[in-house]
Structure 1
Amino acid sequence: MKTIFEMEQLPLDQFRELGLIEGDRLLLPENHIQAMLAGRRTDFIRLEDLSFGADRIPEIDVKLSLSYVGGEASLNIHPVYKEPKMHPSLTDWAKDYLIEGEGRSMELEVESEKGKRQNRIFEYDPETNEFLSYAPSYLFAPEQINQSVLNMGQKARFRKGEWVLLDDGTSIQHRASDSKGLLSSGKQVMFSVKEDKNMVVYRIGDLKQLFGDEKESNNRGLEKEQKKSFEVSKEIDSVSIHERNRGYNQNGSR
């Protein structure tokens, strides 16, 4: 799949400062590297013997991600905060709404770094106690998941981080804070995306489970919405299957 960042863009000096470089080799599992290249966060990794000025940290568990700073890829470190880290774009009500509801997301219009108004999807990462956001316009939605071809409404819900109910009863949800970018009521899904004129199918396994009190009521609403949906036609020249535990790309998250 296409990624936001390329391997040659990785800020190796910043990884080296964290002790994650040996020679020219990045000391991270492939799934962590793919998550960062796709614009997502890694799962937790343990960093040891870090020095920041006069401060020394024997060990710390953090997530890592990449972002563009001044047109170049820069490494972000996400430790576990004792209290939720406040976000300037969120009101107290919005913060409470995201924190108190597992798997919740919220779409808000905010001002971008370039001074333009932009819609972003906000969510809360309970593992680090951080709020994060992404631009749904940059997030691609799959053509098909398992045997379900997604209609326009389902794709829109997917980009916004809302629950999507598939024909086989599986519920899925995009989550920017997850290393694979996807939660599901099933352990694995077949994720089909169009690349040029080919349909490429990825098997994404070991997915974190959807949960929460809102699931049943949300699924009832999705069933009603799907009755109003229409089919999406697609041209497929060939199909190839990649059986990898990979997530998918998500643009513009931070």
Structure 2
Amino acid sequence: MNPVKYNEADLPIEDLGTIGLAAGGQLLLNVDDLKALLSGRRTSLLELHDLEAGNVKIKSINAKISLKPNEKGQVDLLIHPIYRNAEIPDLLTDTEARQLQTGEIGSLLRITLDNQGKKKEMLVEYDPETKEFIVSDTDKILAPDMVNNEFLTPAQKENYRKGREVEIADGTRFNYSGTDRQGIRSNKLALVASVLIDGGLSYLVSRGLNALFNQKRDQKAAEKLSPGYYQALKDMENQHGFKRHQFEQYQAGRGR
């Protein structure tokens, strides 16, 4: 789960403007890509214009973008182009890299050492759209406290951080995905995840979710959402004072 990490005011509008994603101080991003950006995730593939790298000028390129805080407390814009060949991380063997690239497996957990020599568990995934391996520190993956109004157990939260599939009582199955724009995949088209922040619940409504890795889903079953899902929407409505049909506008404006 990735609640809002940045405010819209934090966005490097000038940089976004130079690549054709802002004009006149206004963003030219759809709601889902803006939500991904403000939540610290990568967008979908976007068409960027007039890039410059040293003496090289690129008229147009397809790439994903994300944000990263810098040492000055500001936010830098990162561009993730489509690579010709994937660079294999040192964490992986050639066989493991091939398994990820061919879709034989969705992710791998590997142990590495940080600068202080302490062990860190890393989740490695492969993004076939950009031909890039994504490495995430599992300690920095925020697991939801509740999904569809059902509390997750410590074991379920641990499995989520490790990229494993989690199933709750209402039949909803989901897993973390660092390669997905929404950061989560599910056997359902929508779910409501909640996390306790500063003593209160922060809600994240995810709709139009991609299917679980390498799993086909029944469309009718995916569209059938549980009473817990609707109760979570009602609780969110009561907490924030808006009607259920307005939650998309609410989600889009949370960074403002």
Counterpart for residue 98 of structure 1: 100
Determine which structure has greater relative contact order: mean sequence separation of CA pairs < 8 Å that are 6+ residues apart, divided by chain length: 1
Task: Specify the code of the residue in structure 2 equivalent to 1:125.
Answer: D
Aligned-residue offset at 1:11? 2.9
Q: 1:17-166 to 2 correspondence within 5 Å?
A: 17-71=18-72, 72-101=74-103, 104-112=106-114, 117-166=119-168
Aligned-residue offset at 1:208? 0.8
Counterpart for residue 210 of structure 1: 212
The DSSP-based 3-state class of the residue aligned with 2:67 is: strand
Q: Structure 1 segments of 4 or more deviating over 6 A?
A: none
Aligned-residue offset at 1:82? 3.1
What is the count of residue pairs matched by the alignment?
A: 225
C-alpha distance in structure 1 between counterparts of 2:114 and 2:21, whole Å:
32
C-alpha distance in structure 2 between counterparts of 1:69 and 1:201, whole Å:
28
The DSSP-based 3-state class of the residue aligned with 2:139 is: helix
Extract unaligned runs of 5+ from structure 1: 216-237, 248-254
**Aligned-residue identity in percent:** 30
Structure 1 pair 92–183 and aligned structure 2 pair: CA distance change class (3 A): same
Counterpart for residue 170 of structure 1: 172
What is the TM-score of this pair, normalised by structure 2? 0.75
**Larger proportion of helix:** 2
C-alpha distance in structure 1 between counterparts of 2:29 and 2:214, whole Å:
32
Extract unaligned runs of 5+ from structure 2: 218-233, 238-243
C-alpha distance in structure 2 between counterparts of 1:163 and 1:127, whole Å:
22
The DSSP-based 3-state class of the residue aligned with 2:66 is: strand
Q: Greater CA deviation, 160-169 or 198-207?
A: 198-207
Is the Cα contact below 8 Å between 2:195 and 2:202 reproduced in 1?
A: yes
Deviations 1:108-153 (A, max 9, x none): 2224467764322111111111001122212221122125321111
Is the Cα contact below 8 Å between 1:48 and 1:60 reproduced in 2?
A: yes
Counterpart for residue 248 of structure 2: 244
Deviations 1:38-96 (A, max 9, x none): 22100111123444444343322111011234454221111222332322333223312
Could you say what the CA RMSD is over the residues aligned between the two structures, in angstroms? 3.0
What is the TM-score of this pair, normalised by structure 1? 0.75
C-alpha distance in structure 1 between counterparts of 2:116 and 2:59, whole Å:
39
C-alpha distance in structure 2 between counterparts of 1:154 and 1:15, whole Å:
38
Counterpart for residue 227 of structure 2: none
The DSSP-based 3-state class of the residue aligned with 1:137 is: helix
Is the Cα contact below 8 Å between 1:98 and 1:123 reproduced in 2?
A: yes
The DSSP-based 3-state class of the residue aligned with 1:97 is: helix
Q: Greater CA deviation, 185-194 or 30-39?
A: 30-39
C-alpha distance in structure 1 between counterparts of 2:101 and 2:150, whole Å:
31
Counterpart for residue 222 of structure 1: none
C-alpha distance in structure 1 between counterparts of 2:40 and 2:208, whole Å:
20
The DSSP-based 3-state class of the residue aligned with 2:92 is: coil
Is the Cα contact below 8 Å between 1:200 and 1:239 reproduced in 2?
A: no
- The answer to whether 1:5 aligns with 2:41 is no
Is the Cα contact below 8 Å between 2:3 and 2:202 reproduced in 1?
A: no
Is the Cα contact below 8 Å between 2:164 and 2:175 reproduced in 1?
A: yes
The DSSP-based 3-state class of the residue aligned with 1:158 is: helix
